[in-house]
Amino acid sequence: MSNEKYQDNADVIQPSSSGTDSIAEEKVQAVVSMTQEQIGDVENVISTIVSPSGREVKITGNVDDAMRLALESKDLEITPEEDRRLVRKIDLYMFPLLCLLYAIQFMDKISNGSAAIMGLREDLKMHGDQYSWVGSAFYFGYLFFNLGPGQLIFQKTRWLAKTLGVFVVIWGMFLALHAAPSVNYASFIFLRVLLGCAESMVTPCFTIITSQYWKKEEQFMRVCLWFGFNGLGGIWANAMAYGLYIRKDSYSIEAWRVLFIVTGLITIFVGFLIFFHIPDDPSKAWFLTEREKLMVVERIRENQQGFGNHRIKKYQIKEAFTDIRTWLYFLFSVGNNIPNGGLTNFINILIKNELGYDTKKTLLMTMPTGAVELVACPLFGYLSILCAKKKVPFLQHRTAWGIIASSIAVMATCMLAFADNSKNAKLAGAYLLYVAPLSFICILSIISSNTLGYTKKWTVSSINLVAYASSNLAGPQTFIAKQAPSYNGAKIAMVVCYCSTVVVLSALYYLNFQENKRRDRIAAERGPEKTVVENMEFADLTDLENPHFRYAL
């Protein structure tokens, strides 16, 4: 954030049409509206405002895609009943498929862990730490694609959902190829890298979609819902693995190969559904009437952001890298996802080794991990809504629930690591660890709500997912082969990591709380605005530029 001091009212620059000093002295309120011609001219300066840091910000015709609809929806009146019906309609048409895809992407990830205890390691002659590198290979691809190609492709495209659908089909094909008879260790690693590349864009795309349709206060619950379906993916993958394993003698190929073929084909099918069903943005939503499309624009106006802008703005990339929030997100994702990377690949092995179950029992006993995530994430999201309605101090804010979830993860890891004399306590700890994703959900929803400017949002999201990928890549490496079967070093690393997430989330909460107070104070000192820029919400300003924006806590 700039260190320049904010300017007082006399320093606010009037739009070019405001004319003489006498008008400024009379403090006449000017309304500056963007016309279709001005929008078309991206270099045309429409007006100039002063940011919360006192920096002069020029508003040009290079605006958000939602601006065209915003010009039409200017005088639209929406009743509360109409708004509720619209939200229900969007939820009904969008959410089942979004949740299904998120379940499948997690099912694809953990199919690796199920296959490991079904004979994958033996058939591919893995030894030492080679299986740990299988888990890391996926995130090498994820990391590479988020470092540049992914952001470039998905920000530039005007067919966001269709591009995502194509990527889903491709990743389903890569997954099915895991079962090819010629697959050996080296080719299996290569396929895992390709799978990571193809799958890396799901979370950032879902974050963008969530910000396009729902208000800030609605987004946390929606992210809790679609992310929570990771739990369904976990149940589904282990149930399929169990069914295939107990009938392993019925197939002409190994059961773990059948698992990859089935999950790959399911993924391909869902990819086609995404391509044809999910709209690229609300203006192209086939299930909305023209009035409802205008209503979507009006209901997200208070978010101070719209559908997106497909021109990459270098200054927004720079701002993303210099904003302290970006690096708090980064640090959080490192702490949260080193344990996640290990658990995704080793939870089946941990339960089997620690508790002495056979393969069949292990597959059954791993299913409740998915049930915990499937129930806990939406439940905590719903509790946050109730607390917000009743204005419960601290608990009305989503960051509070992220801190609670991280604290539960610390306790659960301690149970798994240090309850040496109780198998039940160890198992309960393993299950409670699956509350931890709620804190990552908190960060995803905060990025969706609090990062303005389309290029900045993609950049911050990509940096966060680079941390996610690199940490998940490192996670399996904490499980050192010579420490098997207890893997005490990995458990201690998990305790330290989850403790760090509590600290980072607390710092983020304090930073945003203080910044909102500072902006309120500046607004009060500046007094009424002399220049009101109509539809400024859709001018593709960043959160550091927009004086009307307040951070969601």
Q: What is the pLDDT of residues 133-181, one digit of tens each?
A: 887 788 888 888 877 687 788 878 888 899 999 999 998 999 999 888 7
H/E stretch holding 58 reads strand 56-60
Output DSSP code: residue 56. E
Asked if the model's pLDDT at residue 551 lies above 60, the reply is: yes
Q: Please tell me the predicted confidence (pLDDT) of residue 425.
A: 85
Evaluate whether residue 124 is within a structural domain.
Answer: yes
Residue 30, strand partner residues: 531
Read off the pLDDT band of 3 (50, 70, 90).
very low
* Total structural domains within the chain: 1
Query: Tens digit of pLDDT for each residue in 372-428?
Result: 888 888 898 889 889 988 888 888 899 999 999 999 999 998 888 887 777 788 888
Q: Which of 206, 211, 209, 200 is nearest to 149 (CA)?
A: 200
Mean pLDDT in residue range 14-42: 46
Output DSSP code: residue 486. T
Read off the pLDDT band of 45 (50, 70, 90).
low
Evaluate whether residue 2 is within a structural domain.
Answer: no
Evaluate whether residue 6 is within a structural domain.
Answer: no
Evaluate whether residue 68 is within a structural domain.
Answer: no
For tokens 């939870």, what's the residue?
A: 347
Evaluate whether residue 130 is within a structural domain.
Answer: yes
For tokens 């989850």, what's the residue?
A: 498
Mean pLDDT in residue range 258-287: 92
Q: Please tell me the predicted confidence (pLDDT) of residue 525.
A: 85
CA 12 to chain CA centroid, nearest Å: 37
DSSP per-residue letters across 318-339: HHHHH-HHHHHHHHHHHHHHHH
Q: Which residues contact 289 (CB under 8 A, 6 or more apart)?
A: none
Mean pLDDT in residue range 35-51: 65
Q: Which domain holds residue 358?
A: 80-518
Q: Please tell me the predicted confidence (pLDDT) of residue 532.
A: 67
Q: Please tell me the predicted confidence (pLDDT) of residue 27.
A: 37
**Cβ–Cβ < 8 Å for 381, 225:** yes
**Cβ–Cβ < 8 Å for 62, 14:** no
Q: What percentage of the chain reaches a pLDDT higher than 70?
A: 90
Evaluate whether residue 11 is within a structural domain.
Answer: no
Evaluate whether residue 329 is within a structural domain.
Answer: yes
Q: Please tell me the predicted confidence (pLDDT) of residue 26.
A: 38
H/E stretch holding 60 reads strand 56-60
CA 54 to chain CA centroid, nearest Å: 31
Asked if the model's pLDDT at residue 553 lies above 80, the reply is: yes
The residue among 226 and 481 whose pLDDT is bigger is: 226
Q: Which residues of 58-80 are buried (b: 16+ CB within 10 A; e: fewer)?
A: ebbbbbbbbbbbbbebeeeeeee
Q: Please tell me the predicted confidence (pLDDT) of residue 335.
A: 93
Across 226-235, 318-327, 456-465, the highest mean pLDDT is recorded for: 318-327
Mean pLDDT in residue range 347-364: 76
Instruction: Pick the range with the lowest mean pLDDT from 8-17, 63-72, 115-124, 393-402.
Output: 8-17
Q: Please tell me the predicted confidence (pLDDT) of residue 162.
A: 92
Q: What percentage of the chain reaches a pLDDT higher than 90?
A: 23
Q: Which residues contact 239 (CB under 8 A, 6 or more apart)?
A: 367
Q: What is the CATH number of the domain that holds 352?
A: 1.20.1250.20
Q: Please tell me the predicted confidence (pLDDT) of residue 323.
A: 94
Asked if the model's pLDDT at residue 2 lies above 60, the reply is: no
Q: Please tell me the predicted confidence (pLDDT) of residue 42.
A: 59
> How far, in Å, CA of 355 to CA of 233, rounded?
23
Read off the pLDDT band of 13 (50, 70, 90).
very low
DSSP per-residue letters across 396-448: TSHHHHHHHHHHHHHHHHHHHHH-TT-HHHHHHHHHHGGGTHHHHHHHHHHHH
Q: Which of 177, 208, 213, 214 is nearest to 193 (CA)?
A: 177
Read off the pLDDT band of 36 (50, 70, 90).
low
Asked if the model's pLDDT at residue 64 lies above 90, the reply is: no
Evaluate whether residue 26 is within a structural domain.
Answer: no
Mean pLDDT in residue range 523-529: 79
Q: Please tell me the predicted confidence (pLDDT) of residue 406.
A: 93
Asked if the model's pLDDT at residue 326 lies above 50, the reply is: yes
Query: Tens digit of pLDDT for each residue in 237-267?
Result: 888 888 888 888 888 888 888 888 999 999 9
User: What does the angle CA 37 – CA 40 – CA 42 come to, to the nearest 5 degrees?
Assistant: 120
Q: How far is CA 158 from CA 123, 154, 220, 480, in A?
A: 44, 8, 26, 45
**Cβ–Cβ < 8 Å for 196, 145:** yes
Q: Please tell me the predicted confidence (pLDDT) of residue 29.
A: 44
Asked if the model's pLDDT at residue 353 lies above 60, the reply is: yes
Report the sign of the C-alpha dihedral through residues 234, 236, 237, 242, in that order.
positive
Read off the pLDDT band of 309 (50, 70, 90).
confident
Q: Please tell me the predicted confidence (pLDDT) of residue 366.
A: 79
Read off the pLDDT band of 44 (50, 70, 90).
low
The residue among 240 and 33 whose pLDDT is bigger is: 240
Q: Please tell me the predicted confidence (pLDDT) of residue 46.
A: 66
Mean of pLDDT over the chain: 82
**Cβ–Cβ < 8 Å for 195, 203:** no
Asked if the model's pLDDT at residue 443 lies above 60, the reply is: yes
